Amino acid sequence: MTGTILVTGATGTIGRRVVEQLTRAGAPVRATSRSTSNPLAGIETKLTGTRADDLLAGCVAVLVVAPALGTAPAERLRELLGAANAGTVQRLVLLSTASASDPMSPTGSHHRVLEETAAEFAGALHILRPVPLALNTIHWWGPTIRVAGLAEGPYIDVPMAPIDEVDVADVAARLLLSGDEPSGVIDLTGPHTLSSRAQIDVLARLLGTHIAVREIAPDEVRNRLGAAGVPAAAVESLLRSFHVAAERPLTVSGAVERITGRPAHTYEQWAERHLDAFQWPMMEA
């Protein structure tokens, strides 16, 4: 392939892995970051606020990650689209969220505006809508499992379909590299549904320990996360993800396997790679 691929948010959870995959495939990559201290060794990196036409010069494909659009995301996206449409960009991958299909989710509303804005792109537009990442379970349960063998959460028996961050990134990388996929929205889930309780059971089995499970009410989640400084919109969006799955069972998407050519990783496979995050560090003898 010829032409550079621009990865915005390239130091982040998804972007970092996308850069790795593209580099492995031999594609020329340009990254963005707010950091001036060379955060991605060996990768051409431009400052996040760089003029759009400079950023996109010679690019054939772009990954847009919302946090990297800054404080006026729709305006910044419009600037990027203007330069993309005037230049050589053929494919745009927008990392959105499954919540974009929920009119009552604050995070979903934010992403829907970006999805609608992205429709101004003249080339192939791929909108990725992943469900909550399996990675979130480290933040939810890691600290209390480590210190007290306890995991707490709302909607504890509602089936979810947590997705491995690696699967999201690998889908994005494949779409950036190949022009085979038609434009459209791509729902991304893990390969099967399992409740929070079932996910905690997986962790307990892998850790070889008992984990006590306690369901907490949505209002308790609001109080605790609010006190911890999590913005109310983020808390409501999280609760909406569970609420929506409780109201209408989640449909598992086969998109990871269809696009990457390999099955999506199970929660157990994800947990095997991240088990350290749920274990108290071993003390040196």
Ligand X SMILES: NC(=O)c1ccc[n+]([C@@H]2O[C@H](COP(=O)([O-])OP(=O)(O)OC[C@H]3O[C@@H](n4cnc5c(N)ncnc54)[C@H](OP(=O)(O)O)[C@@H]3O)[C@@H](O)[C@H]2O)c1
Exposure class string for 34-71: b at 16+ Cβ within 10 A, else e: eeeeeebeebebbebeeebeebbeebbbbbbbbebbee
Residue nearest to ligand X (CB): 12
- In the complex, the smallest distance separating the C-beta of residue 116 from ligand X, rounded to whole angstroms, is 15
Residue 14 or residue 127: which is nearer to ligand X going by CB? 14
Q: Which of 4, 6, 7, 9 binds ligand X (CB under 6 A)?
A: 9
Residue 13 or residue 85: which is nearer to ligand X going by CB? 13
Q: Which of 5, 22, 27, 33 binds ligand X (CB under 6 A)?
A: 33
Left (φ > 0), alpha (ψ -120 to 50) or beta: where does 2 sit? beta
How far is residue 252's CA from residue 98's CA, in Å, rounded to a whole number? 12
- In the complex, the smallest distance separating the C-beta of residue 260 from ligand X, rounded to whole angstroms, is 17
Residues 6+ apart with CB under 8 A from 197: 156, 157, 213
Q: Which of 1, 11, 185, 222 binds ligand X (CB under 6 A)?
A: 11
Residue 70 or residue 249: which is nearer to ligand X going by CB? 70
- What secondary structure does DSSP assign to 121-186, as a single string? -SSEEEEEEEPPBTTHHHHHHHHHHHHHSEEEESSTTSEE--B-HHHHHHHHHHHHH-S-SPSEEE
From the list 27-35, 116-124, 147-155, 208-216, the region that binds ligand X by CB under 6 A is 27-35
From the list 125-133, 141-149, 152-160, 189-197, the region that binds ligand X by CB under 6 A is 125-133
Whether 99 and 93 have beta carbons less than 8 Å apart is answered as: no
C-alpha dihedral (130, 118, 93, 19), degrees to nearest 10:
-100
How far is residue 11's CA from residue 31's CA, in Å, rounded to a whole number? 8
Size of the site for ligand X (CB under 6 A): 23
String marking each residue 139-178 x if it binds ligand X according to CB under 6 A: ----------------------------------------
Does 73 contact ligand X by CB under 6 A? no
Residue 41: DSSP 8-state:
T
Does 82 contact ligand X by CB under 6 A? no
From the list 63-71, 137-145, 193-201, 244-252, the region that binds ligand X by CB under 6 A is 63-71
Structure tokens at 99: 């919540």
- In the complex, the smallest distance separating the C-beta of residue 2 from ligand X, rounded to whole angstroms, is 27
How far is residue 168's CA from residue 136's CA, in Å, rounded to a whole number? 14
Residue 1 or residue 138: which is nearer to ligand X going by CB? 138
Residues that bind ligand X (CB under 6 A): 9, 11-15, 33-35, 39, 48, 65-68, 70, 95, 97, 107, 130, 132-133, 136
